[in-house]
């Protein structure tokens, strides 16, 4: 039996949007393949080489609709200070007038799909239902990969009125009429004018982070932009870590890491690559689940060398968006392999290596089922989640941050996360290569004032003596010529090994003004050709650079005014004193 509250809401939406017909999605295999065949007929999808990429398809989005549009993403609360200075704010009244009017009649001539979905494992106290209404079959197909969609969600919902309401329409795909609006107090999302994943798959960033972060604040848990992995040592002990990295900064590669030959007796298990919901367990520890069931990964740079597990996961039952197409009907992107002699680029135009433009869009994506990943953890769908021993913060910094350091304590760790910065990537529309503060990698995804978000983190730490240890990592430090000093990818396990040793009471470290840094002989570098000079540079903490960094952190903090927790200013003053 379907909730009457849900059916009433769907009827209200239909009266406004006026679709030709309404389809309630059940999430079945037959339904999925019927949608695929429909999109193949309409030209929305192209079938890829069935022998090499079985049940895989290519979608080309509109050239103006290729990434999250953060400047058109709004938090709609009664007071602007509740959204905070790092979010775009719009009053609910203005949103209903300005954006609501765009939905009137927007689905005429189209089918309205009702997509119930479950975020989190079935039967888990973490899990919650959302319902997305959309006129895009591409969105429906992707939501089936990314979430537990259809009947299973309706069964979880029952007669409850507790579900996130998501309304999405392609509209006319005009950037002038493109909005993504979040109403945290009503647990509602409106998105119009975009078919791109992050703007249109409402279960992903919109629900799982922007709306869920507000729920987490109110209910005493954390909704975070984090991977979850389990590192199994040669004795069979598994230590679970969560990690926050901005988009396209190596998060997916770390989530699916393959150990290097020197550490072949270790195993890295993938629990999730993008989103973590963390709650206290009965033992006082933080336990985490991955609410998703798929990977929405950045394709360029992904290869059998950088991420073989991802390549295997995406090789079947997957949807590719804005990649290039080779003459034999296979997907290709920069960094995957040697370029083909001839292909069609992400817009369908003829392309050769001498064309002078990328074949795949820099933010080209694959949507692949998580269950296909060879490293998927046997516990990835455990209802209680997995216990987190350490939290990693990281980003892309060419100069300032060392390879790894540990925070002095939880409060200092919150300061480290609140002040972290990264160089921007193509995942969000805007300039590339600019350093911007991205606290906990949540700047684009926090659904309320980030000063209050920092306070929530501090309060979480006060509730338990068993909080995870906090570390900062930076795989991207370069030398004067711009060459990466650290090999990265699978070799990052050497850093994780030291982190796990620290968690377990070992791991040699030197106290520095910014935290505990490994001593030169603390990292297991067996089999790695890394000079002592390079290692010294990787671990170096330059007081001059960090004094400038402290100034930049203060400038970032000042925008929050009196709302910023005093504890963070206290940590800032302590950092400045330690730097001398």
The residue among 164, 195, 220 that closes a domain is: 220
- Measured CA to CA, the distance from residue 62 to residue 60 in angstroms comes to 7
249 a catalytic residue? yes
pLDDT digits (tens, 9 = 90+) for 141-182: 999 999 999 999 999 999 999 999 999 999 999 999 999 999
pLDDT digits (tens, 9 = 90+) for 67-115: 888 899 999 999 999 999 999 999 999 999 999 999 999 999 999 999 9
Same domain, 161 and 258: no
Beta pairing, strands 226-232 & 267-272: antiparallel
Q: Is residue 58 part of a domain?
A: no
- Measured CA to CA, the distance from residue 229 to residue 375 in angstroms comes to 10
pLDDT digits (tens, 9 = 90+) for 530-572: 999 999 999 999 999 999 999 999 999 999 999 999 999 999 9
Q: Is residue 107 part of a domain?
A: yes
Looking at the structure of the chain, the number of domains it has is 3
Same domain, 316 and 367: yes
- Measured CA to CA, the distance from residue 205 to residue 198 in angstroms comes to 6
Q: Cβ contacts of residue 124 below 8 Å, gap of 6+? A: 289, 383, 384, 385
Q: Cβ contacts of residue 512 below 8 Å, gap of 6+? A: 405, 541
Q: Is residue 51 part of a domain?
A: no
pLDDT score of 285 = 98
Same domain, 130 and 269: no
Angle, in degrees to the nearest 10, between helices 410-418 and 450-462: 160
- Measured CA to CA, the distance from residue 370 to residue 53 in angstroms comes to 16
Same domain, 130 and 256: no
Token representation of residue 286: 């933080």
* Edge-to-edge strand list for the sheet holding 319-321: 46-47, 57-59, 319-321, 365-369, 294-298
CB 548 within 8 A of CB 419: no
Same domain, 246 and 211: no
- Kind and range of the H or E element at 369? strand 365-369
Q: Is residue 252 part of a domain?
A: yes
Same domain, 354 and 283: no
Same domain, 344 and 426: no
Does the pLDDT of residue 186 top 80, yes or no? yes
Q: What is the CATH number of the domain that holds 474?
A: 3.90.228.20
> Would you place residue 248 in the very low, low, confident or very high pLDDT band (cuts 50, 70, 90)?
low
CB 405 within 8 A of CB 512: yes
Token representation of residue 573: 């003053």
pLDDT digits (tens, 9 = 90+) for 405-427: 999 999 999 999 999 998 765 55
pLDDT score of 425 = 58
> Would you place residue 247 in the very low, low, confident or very high pLDDT band (cuts 50, 70, 90)?
confident
Same domain, 348 and 267: no
Same domain, 274 and 125: no
Same domain, 156 and 28: yes
pLDDT score of 429 = 59
Angle, in degrees to the nearest 10, between helices 29-42 and 137-146: 140
Q: Is residue 244 part of a domain?
A: yes
Q: Which of 25, 106, 249, 446 is catalytic?
A: 249
Q: Structural domain of residue 167, as residue ranges?
A: 4-43+68-220
Same domain, 533 and 394: yes
Percent of the chain with pLDDT over 70: 98
* Maximum alpha-carbon separation in the chain: 69
Nearest to 567 by CA among 407, 471, 459: 459
The arithmetic mean of pLDDT across residues 441-445, rounded, is 95
The arithmetic mean of pLDDT across residues 431-451, rounded, is 90
Nearest to 167 by CA among 150, 179, 156, 155: 179
Q: Is residue 194 part of a domain?
A: yes
Q: What 3-state class would DSSP assign to 297?
A: strand
pLDDT digits (tens, 9 = 90+) for 274-291: 999 999 999 999 999 999
pLDDT score of 359 = 98
- The DSSP call for residue 439 is G
Q: Is residue 52 part of a domain?
A: no
- For the chain, the straight-line distance linking the first and the last C-alpha, in angstroms and rounded, comes to 67
Q: Is residue 183 part of a domain?
A: yes
* pTM exceeds cut of 0.95: yes
Q: Where in 145-281 does DSSP place strands (E)?
A: 148-149, 163-169, 179-183, 188-192, 222-224, 226-232, 238-244, 267-272, 276-280
Same domain, 158 and 236: no
- Measured CA to CA, the distance from residue 551 to residue 572 in angstroms comes to 10
The residue among 356, 372, 388 that closes a domain is: 372
The residue among 169, 197, 220 that closes a domain is: 220
Q: What is the CATH number of the domain that holds 13?
A: 3.40.449.10
């Amino acid at each position: 039996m379907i909730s009457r509250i849900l059916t009433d809401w769907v009827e209200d939406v239909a009266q406004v949007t006026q679709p030709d017909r309404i389809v309630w999605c059940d999430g079945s295999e037959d339904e999925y393949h019927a949608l695929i065949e429909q999109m193949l007929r309409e030209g929305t999808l192209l079938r890829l080489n069935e022998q090499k990429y079985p049940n895989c398809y290519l979608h080309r989005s509109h050239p103006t609709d290729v990434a999250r549009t953060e400047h058109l993403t709004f938090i709609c609360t009664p007071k602007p200070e509740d959204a905070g200075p790092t979010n775009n704010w719009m009053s609910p009244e203005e949103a209903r007038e300005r954006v609501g009017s765009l939905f009137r009649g927007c689905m005429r001539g189209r089918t309205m799909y009702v997509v119930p979905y479950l975020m989190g494992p079935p039967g888990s106290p973490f899990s919650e239902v959302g319902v997305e209404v959309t006129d895009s079959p591409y969105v429906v197909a992707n939501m089936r990969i990314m979430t537990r969609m259809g009947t299973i969600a309706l069964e979880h919902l029952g007669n409850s009125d507790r579900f996130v309401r998501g309304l999405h329409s392609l509209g006319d795909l005009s950037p002038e009429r493109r909005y993504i609006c979040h109403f945290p107090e009503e647990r509602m999302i409106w998105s119009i004018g975009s078919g791109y994943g992050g703007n249109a798959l409402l279960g992903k960033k919109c629900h799982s982070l922007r709306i869920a972060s507000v729920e987490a604040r109110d209910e005493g848990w954390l909704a975070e932009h984090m991977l979850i992995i389990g590192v199994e040592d040669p004795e069979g002990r598994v230590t679970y870590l969560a990690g926050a990295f901005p988009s396209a900064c190596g998060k997916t590669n770390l989530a699916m890491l393959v150990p290097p030959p020197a550490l072949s007796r270790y195993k890295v298990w993938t629990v999730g690559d993008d989103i973590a919901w963390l709650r206290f367990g009965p033992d006082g520890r933080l336990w985490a689940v991955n609410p998703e069931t798929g990977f929405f990964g950045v394709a360029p740079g992904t290869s059998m060398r950088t991420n073989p597990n991802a390549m295997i996961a995406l090789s079947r039952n997957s949807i590719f968006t804005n990649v290039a197409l080779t003459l034999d009907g296979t997907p290709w992107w920069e960094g995957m392999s040697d370029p083909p002699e001839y292909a069609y680029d992400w817009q369908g135009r003829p392309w050769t290596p001498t064309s002078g433009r990328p074949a795949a869009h820099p933010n080209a994506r694959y949507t692949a089922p998580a269950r296909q990943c060879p490293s998927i953890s046997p516990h990835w769908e455990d209802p209680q989640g997995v216990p987190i021993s350490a939290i990693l913060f990281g980003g892309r910094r060419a100069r300032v941050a060392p390879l790894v350091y540990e925070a002095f304590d939880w409060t200092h760790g919150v300061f480290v996360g609140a002040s972290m910065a990264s160089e921007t990537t193509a995942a969000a529309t805007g300039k590339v290569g600019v350093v911007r503060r991205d606290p906990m990698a949540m700047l684009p995804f926090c659904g309320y004032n980030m000063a209050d978000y920092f306070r929530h983190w501090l309060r979480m730490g006060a509730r338990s003596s068993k909080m995870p240890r906090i570390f900062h990592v930076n795989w991207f430090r370069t030398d004067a010529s711009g060459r990466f000093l650290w090999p990265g990818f699978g070799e990052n396990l050497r850093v994780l090994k030291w982190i796990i040793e620290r968690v377990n009471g070992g791991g040699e470290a030197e106290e520095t003004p910014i935290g505990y840094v490994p001593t030169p002989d603390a990292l297991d570098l067996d089999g790695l050709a890394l000079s002592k000079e390079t290692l010294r540079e990787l671990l170096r903490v330059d007081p001059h650079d960090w004094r400038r960094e402290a100034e930049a952190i203060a400038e970032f903090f000042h925008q929050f005014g009196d709302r910023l927790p005093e504890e963070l200013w206290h940590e800032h003053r302590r950092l400045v004193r330690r730097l001398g």
